[in-house]
Each structure stands twice: as C-alpha cells, then as structure tokens.
C-alpha cells in the first residue's frame, strides 16, 4: 500500500512539474514567415576579442509536411559565402527547440513573445552552457547567444542577431 501511495505521489509530482514547464507552439513561429527580415549580426571576434557587426538578412518559411519545423535562410549581403540554412524544429511537447531546452517564456503585453533556451556544448574548445534569448514580434526579431564556461558564474554575450521588417 505504501508503495502505491509513493508511486501515486511521484506521478502526481511529475505531472504537476511537466504542466508548469514553459512551452512553445507552432503558432509562436507563424509570425516569422512571410517578408524577409533585414538587420545585423554582432559577434565577438575570437582573435581580437572585439565586437564586429555585419549585415544579415533572414527568410523564414514553414517546412513542407512538418508543422513543427521552419526553414531559416541566413544571408550575409557583404559575405555571401557565409550564407546558410537550417531547419528549426519544436519538439512535440513544445519544451525543446533544436536541442535547446525551453527554460522561460513570457508574453510581452501585446508586443510579442520572449523565450529563453539553454543547451550544453563546447565554445572555443571549452565546456559551456549556452543561453539563447529569442524575442519575436510582427516587426522585430532577435536572437541573443550567451555563453557560461564550466566553473564560471556569469554568462558572456557571444553574438546577437537583430532584424526588422
């Protein structure tokens, strides 16, 4: 009987915890599709440790046949060899985007949405935690990437995309 009660309490706790997790939906990304986004990428150059800004454009389209995926086409007008494309996918339950765990979500009082994700990895050959802050509205879109090296207390900004349309 005690085992049953313990199992019931644990499953209730897990259910309650999963309900409170911040989640994303396909509707959150729909505003990104359509007209091209125009803006800049600002990043810290590893060699000089100085901030550099370059022109950046972005075209977002819904992936054919997958309502949880979008194609992001990054363009750099002054450096076309750096142009790239990626598929951005939201997990079925909305708690993960491209392997990044959603840790925060806030509606911005009719002005769009901000969400924060985290992911572990390597930065400059060092173990790190990456934090991405996405801000989305009908006319503005930004993605800020911050890094906290293993053992460090603070995040440092690695790069930021800022686009308008």
Q: Is residue 36 situated within a structural domain?
A: yes
pLDDT in tens, 99-149: 999 999 999 887 899 999 999 999 989 999 999 999 999 999 999 999 999
Q: Do residues 32 and 74 make contact, with C-beta atoms less than 8 angstroms apart? A: no
The pTM assigned to this predicted structure is 0.85
Q: What is the CA radius of gyration of the chain?
A: 19
Helices then strands, counting H and E runs in the chain, come out as: 2, 10
Could you tell me if residue 73 is inside a domain?
A: yes
Q: Residue 54 belongs to a domain with what CATH number? A: 2.40.128.20
Is residue 91 one of the residues assigned to a domain? yes
Cα separation, 163 vs 73, in Å, equals 13
Establish if 98 belongs to a structural domain: yes
Q: Is residue 11 part of a domain?
A: no
The answer to whether residue 8 is domain-embedded is no
Q: How many domains, in total, are found in the chain? A: 1
* Residue 129 domain boundaries: 23-164
Express each pLDDT in 56-95 by its tens digit. Answer: 999 999 999 899 999 999 999 999 999 999 999 999 999 9
């Amino acid at each position: 009987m005690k085992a049953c009660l313990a199992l019931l309490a644990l499953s209730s706790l897990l259910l309650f915890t999963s309900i409170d997790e911040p989640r994303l939906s396909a509707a959150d990304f729909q505003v990104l599709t359509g007209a091209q986004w125009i803006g800049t990428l600002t990043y810290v150059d590893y060699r000089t440790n100085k901030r550099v800004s370059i022109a950046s454009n972005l075209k977002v389209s819904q992936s054919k046949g997958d309502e949880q995926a979008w194609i992001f086409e990054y363009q750099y007008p002054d450096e076309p060899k750096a142009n790239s494309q990626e598929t951005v996918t939201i997990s079925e339950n909305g708690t993960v985007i491209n392997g990044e765990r959603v840790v925060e979500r806030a509606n911005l009082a009719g002005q769009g949405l901000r969400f924060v994700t985290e992911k572990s990895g390597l930065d400059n050959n060092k173990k790190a935690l990456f934090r991405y802050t996405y801000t989305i509205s009908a006319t503005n879109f930004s993605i800020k990437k911050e890094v906290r090296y293993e053992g460090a207390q603070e995040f440092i900004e690695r790069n930021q995309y800022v686009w308008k349309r």
